[in-house]
Amino acid sequence: MKSNPKFIFFTDFDGTITQQDSNDFMTDTIGYGQDKRREGNIACLNDSISFRDSFQDMMDSVTRPYDQCIQYVVDNVKLDPGFAEFFQWSLKNNIPVVVLSSGMEPIIKALLKKLVGPDAEKMQVLGNQVGPRDGKDINEEGGWTILFRHPESGFGHDKSIELRKYSSLPEDQRPTMFYAGDGVSDLSAARETDLLFAKKGHDLINYCARENVPFTVFEDWTNILSKCKEIVEGKATVQEAAKAGFEAYKSGAAGVNVKEATK
């Protein structure tokens, strides 16, 4: 807030800034596999298990040394199209970008350094940490575990806590808040922003439709950049954008099954 921005963009990292979710990727390929991981995701959406417990179970299945995990995702995970252009536009227009992630900060920062370059240091990154298991080093087989930012929360990292620091500001100081996400880790943030960008075809859309949370759909960051430009330039409002997103969902253009989402 030092530069008195009129807009702030908060974003999930895995599967939102990147094409692949690094944690899902590790679980699917060197952990217990995609089928069991999806069972956990669906259980979260149905409120039968907390995200924290599901995510802990996922990460416990990945036993490769942590330095090898970092290298593995850096070698395989790609940047979402349009994000680099969006980020450069945000820097020029005094729009801070804050990453709120349920992933682990060391992996996120390593990926951003490779995918975005030196300017990545201008992004604030808030995620979970990693620590050693008893008597072990994180860089040995089965030696690490995730350390949650908010271990008392069912989310592990309750993103709404950070968002409320801004949404609770006096009206003359409060910036317009954007948020982009794709999945179950973003549920705590969905209601706490002025305009929610939900990724086409992903679980966050199902949740927003079911809970009547306004959102707009994006396919990649070129869509986000275009919509943010319209809003910043006064050519559209966040309310209009959210209405358009829900209409896209109802028409079937959001990439999810309407009947499944509303069960």
Q: What is the pLDDT of residues 159-175, one digit of tens each?
A: 989 999 998 999 889 99
Torsion of CA 13, 18, 24, 25, to 10 degrees: -140
Q: Within a domain: residue 222?
A: yes
Residue 257, pLDDT score = 54
Does the residue 263 lie in any domain? no
Residues designated as active site: 12, 14
pLDDT at 256: 52
**Distance in angstroms (rounded) separating the CA atoms of residues 25 and 33:** 9
pLDDT in tens, 20-54: 999 999 999 999 999 999 999 889 878 899 999 99
CATH no. for residue 87?
3.40.50.1000
Q: For strand 195-199 and strand 176-181, is the pairing parallel, antiparallel, or unpaired?
A: parallel
Q: Is residue 216 part of a domain?
A: yes
- Residue identified by tokens 């028409």 is 251
Query: Residue 62: is its pLDDT beyond 80?
Result: yes
Q: Which of 117, 110, 125, 124 is nearest to 83 (CA)?
A: 117
For 104-162, write each residue's pLDDT tens digit: 999 999 999 999 999 999 999 999 999 999 999 999 999 999 999 999 999 899 998 99
Please indicate, yes or no, if residue 172 is contained in any of the structural domains: yes
Domain that holds residue 54: 7-251
User: What is the number of structural domains in the chain?
Assistant: 1
H-type alpha helices, the chain: 22-30, 34-45, 51-60, 66-76, 83-92, 105-115, 159-167, 203-211, 221-232, 238-250, 258-261
In a domain, 204, yes or no: yes
